[in-house]
A and B are shown apart, each in its own frame.
Chain A
Amino acid sequence: MRFIVGLIALGIFSGEAVAQTASLPQRHVVHIEAFAFQPPQIIVSPGDTIVWVNQDIVPHFISIAEGQWQSPIIEEGQSWEMVVDQTGSHAYICVFHPKMMGAFATN
């Protein structure tokens, strides 16, 4: 992926190839920091991956759309990623610290 992006940047791919690669799945990083999701809301495309990175010193545990998807316990310094396979907008919380809220929506 990074390699292809690099090639695009170098202008090695033709315009046609760029059009094809432009729809490649993207990775969106959500930082878990100071008991908050950062950014709290993101727009994604179906097929994209969201990566949650726990930068706090305590474990967190994400529950999306009231438990429709759940992370394992994410320890300090660990991350969890999920491929977005449904459209629509979805709110999520940390089960351990339910005041932590975030959301993602598909474009």
Chain B
Amino acid sequence: MNTFTKSFLTLTLASAVLVGCMTANGPATAEQSMGQAHMTKTRMTKEEAAAPKLNDLEIAHIAYTAGAIDIRYAHLALALSEDPEVLNFAELMIRDHTAVNNKALALVQKLQITPQDNAMSQQLSQQAQQIREELSQLRGKELAKRYAANELGYHQTVNNVVENTFIPTAQNHELKALLTAALQTFKVHEGHAEAMNKKVM
């Protein structure tokens, strides 16, 4: 299996995991929240409308976990790769995701809430562990290509969920604002990842 096929499968799998988690959390409670749920419901299919709504504590947990996962990928890349594009990107990921996650921690402290572990966070972590194991077996060009492909797929998948699920679903306006600023950052990363993929070919 070539790298492209692998990365495409990974991306597909990642999307399936994210979407799967969205629908595997229990019964829908559309009545729980009037405004935001109603607005987003009109754009959903019947099947999606039956999906449970993530609460703010779960969204905060998933978003933090997603950032922490990317930081771990970056540390692995810094340790194993010598490709300047990869090293540069990995440093950017550590710097930016640390900044965003620190903002999230500060907000959590301010609101005196505890983010809630959930099926989606757990699946993200499990999948990330598999990818780290895979990356750790690779060196040189193969590692650079695989890291680059994974970063692009990961940012595309996470950005899609943050934009289309987390931001419309989040109830607390400060959480919503932080997710919006984070999405802006992650979209810049997605652009960088695209450029990195072209350079490590």
Residues of A bordering B, CB below 8 Å: 34-35, 56-59, 75-76, 96-97, 99
Contact = CB atoms under 8 A, between A and B. Distances in A.
Contacts of B184: 34-35, 56
B188 A99 contact: yes
B92 interface: yes
What is the interface of chain A mostly: helix, strand, loop, or mixed?
Answer: loop
A57 B181 contact: yes
Interface of B: 92, 95-96, 99-100, 103, 178, 181-182, 184-185, 188, 191-192
Contacts of A34: 184
Contacts of A99: 188, 191
What is the interface of chain B mostly: helix, strand, loop, or mixed?
Answer: helix
Contact of A57 (B92, B100, B191): B100
B181 A56 contact: yes
A57 B177 CA distance: 11
B87 to A, nearest CB: 13
Query: Which residue of A56, A57, A75, A97 has the most chain B CB atoms within 10 A of its CB atom?
Result: A57
Given A35-B184, A35-B188, A99-B188, A59 B103 contact: no
Contacts of B99: 57-59, 75-76
A99 to B, nearest CB: 7
- What are the 5 closest A-B residue pairs judged by CB atoms, nearest first? A58-B96, A58-B99, A57-B181, A35-B188, A57-B103
B95 A59 contact: yes
A38 to B, nearest CB: 14
Nearest to B91: A96
B191 A58 contact: no
A78 B68 CA distance: 25
Contacts of B178: 57
A52 B167 CA distance: 30
Contacts of A76: 99, 103
A96 B92 contact: yes
6 contacts: A34-B184, A35-B184, A58-B99, A59-B95, A96-B95, A99-B191
B169 to A, nearest CB: 21
